[in-house]
């Protein structure tokens, strides 16, 4: 499928920034691509496969997105973004029938590259993925300051976002990574060894939620899928009885076997759909939005790396 990002979004004919309510005006075809899209492409130094699939939940738009940004001669940023809605509803986004999670992830993937902050990032000869992430982190509050209902003095009104970024810098023979929350980045070396290059900073909260989740099952003698009906529960998603490294290795295998043929994510959906009581895979809802990007490069013994949200 063709590229999701429309370069006209977010800018008026005179080249000026649009009001927040006009920045992400999408037609039906664009919305369809944001819900499910597969993209393959090349950049200086390698190639990539990207796929995003919404959960299909009624009335919910895909809160994941991905981006491929050229950032100067021989330099490319590849990223996955996973939005998280605020605890409070956002008046300005409800008018647009968008969640805060959808808005923040797609604002970043579709609008950030048109900003003055992005232009300045592309000018230095030597930048890192961390530089990009920090710039996004300072750019987003400025954008959200224009949205009615978002108040930075009230944390419950602020959407959040997990992110995984890889910056390939061919002229400087350098690759840097940056990551937030529970997205992950892994490296598959040419000798087959796998190295996880990210840190799940949500792990402690997931563990506490999982323990609470199990206690409810035991206390009320109910199946796991019944617990999700309790509005107090949130949405961790972890493997059950499988090591993280084995999970990553399985992911590499699925990408290798399927990325040339079609959907990688679809291979896992039947496994979840055939587990209606959430017994085989520990989770609080059947499935979430899913996005994966596999980057193939030849860099200091590294063969490929996936980013996932």
Q: What SS3 class is residue 291?
A: strand
| Lowest-pLDDT range of 49-53, 237-241, 277-281 | 237-241
> How many whole angstroms separate alpha carbon 279 and alpha carbon 247?
17
pLDDT in tens, 66-104: 999 999 999 999 999 999 999 999 999 999 999 999 999
Q: Residue 112: what pLDDT?
A: 96
pLDDT, greater one: 244 or 286: 286
Helix (H) or strand (E) holding 163: strand 160-169
- For the cut 70, the answer to whether the pLDDT of residue 151 exceeds it is yes
To the nearest whole percent, how much of the chain has pLDDT over 90? 45
Q: Residue 57: what pLDDT?
A: 79
- State mean pLDDT over 11-27: 74
| Lowest-pLDDT range of 89-103, 135-149, 227-241, 250-264 | 227-241
- For the cut 70, the answer to whether the pLDDT of residue 11 exceeds it is no
- For the cut 70, the answer to whether the pLDDT of residue 121 exceeds it is yes
Q: Residue 25: what pLDDT?
A: 87
> How many whole angstroms separate alpha carbon 266 and alpha carbon 238?
18
| Cα–Cα separations (whole angstroms), residue 221 to 216, 218, 285 | 8, 5, 18
Reading phi first (left if > 0) and then psi (alpha if -120 to 50, else beta), residue 15 is in left
Q: Residue 107: what pLDDT?
A: 96
Q: Residue 253: what pLDDT?
A: 56
Q: What is the mean pLDDT of the chain?
A: 80
Burial (CB count <10 Å: 0-12, 13-18, 19+), residue 194:
middle
Q: Residue 258: what pLDDT?
A: 55
| Separation of CA 263 from chain center | 17
- For the cut 70, the answer to whether the pLDDT of residue 222 exceeds it is yes
> How many whole angstroms separate alpha carbon 124 and alpha carbon 147?
32
> How many whole angstroms separate alpha carbon 46 and alpha carbon 31?
29
Q: Residue 301: what pLDDT?
A: 61
Of 113, 142, 144, nearest to 7 (Cα)?
113
Of 49, 186, 23, 180, nearest to 109 (Cα)?
23
Other CB atoms within 10 Å distance of the CB of residue 252 = 18
| Lowest-pLDDT range of 148-157, 246-255, 286-295 | 246-255
Q: Residue 182: what pLDDT?
A: 81
Q: Residue 187: what pLDDT?
A: 80
**Domains in the chain and their CATH numbers?**
20-194+287-308 (3.60.40)
The pTM is what? 0.80
> How many whole angstroms separate alpha carbon 91 and alpha carbon 95?
7
pLDDT tier at 122, thresholds 50, 70, 90: very high
Q: Edge-to-edge strands of the sheet including 75-84?
A: 64-70, 75-84, 160-169, 174-180
Give 36-60 as a 3 state SS string: EEEEEEEECCEEEEEEEECCCCCCC
- State mean pLDDT over 279-286: 69
């Amino acid at each position: 499928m063709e590229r999701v990002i429309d370069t006209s979004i977010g800018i008026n004919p005179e080249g000026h920034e649009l009001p927040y309510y006009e920045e992400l005006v999408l037609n039906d075809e664009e919305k369809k691509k944001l819900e499910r899209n597969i993209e393959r492409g090349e950049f200086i130094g390698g190639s990539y496969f990207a796929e995003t699939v919404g959960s299909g939940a009624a009335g919910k738009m895909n809160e994941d997105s991905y981006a491929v940004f050229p950032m100067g001669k021989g330099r490319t940023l590849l990223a996955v973004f996973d939005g998280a809605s605020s605890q409070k509803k956002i008046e300005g986004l409800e008018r647009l029938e968008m969640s805060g999670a959808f808005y923040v992830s797609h604002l970043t993937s579709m609008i950030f590259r048109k900003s003055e902050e992005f232009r300045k990032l592309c000018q230095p000869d030597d930048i890192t993925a961390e530089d990009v992430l920090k710039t996004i982190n300072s750019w987003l509050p400025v954008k959200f300051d224009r949205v009615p209902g978002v108040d930075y003095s009230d944390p419950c009104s602020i959407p959040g976002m997990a992110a995984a970024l890889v910056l390939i810098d061919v002229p400087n023979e350098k690759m840097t990574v940056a990551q937030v929350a529970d997205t992950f980045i892994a490296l598959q070396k040419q000798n087959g060894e796998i190295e996880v290059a990210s840190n799940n900073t949500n792990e402690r909260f997931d563990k506490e939620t999982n323990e609470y989740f199990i206690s409810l099952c035991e206390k009320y003698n109910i199946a796991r899928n019944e617990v999700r009906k309790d509005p107090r529960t949130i949405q961790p998603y972890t493997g059950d009885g499988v090591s993280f490294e084995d999970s990553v290795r399985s992911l590499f295998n699925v990408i290798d076997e399927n990325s040339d043929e079609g959907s990688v994510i679809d291979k896992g959906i039947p496994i979840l759909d055939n587990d209606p009581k959430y017994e085989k895979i520990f989770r609080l809802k059947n499935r979430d939005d899913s996005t994966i990007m596999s980057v193939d490069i030849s860099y200091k013994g590294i063969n490929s790396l996936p980013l996932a949200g």
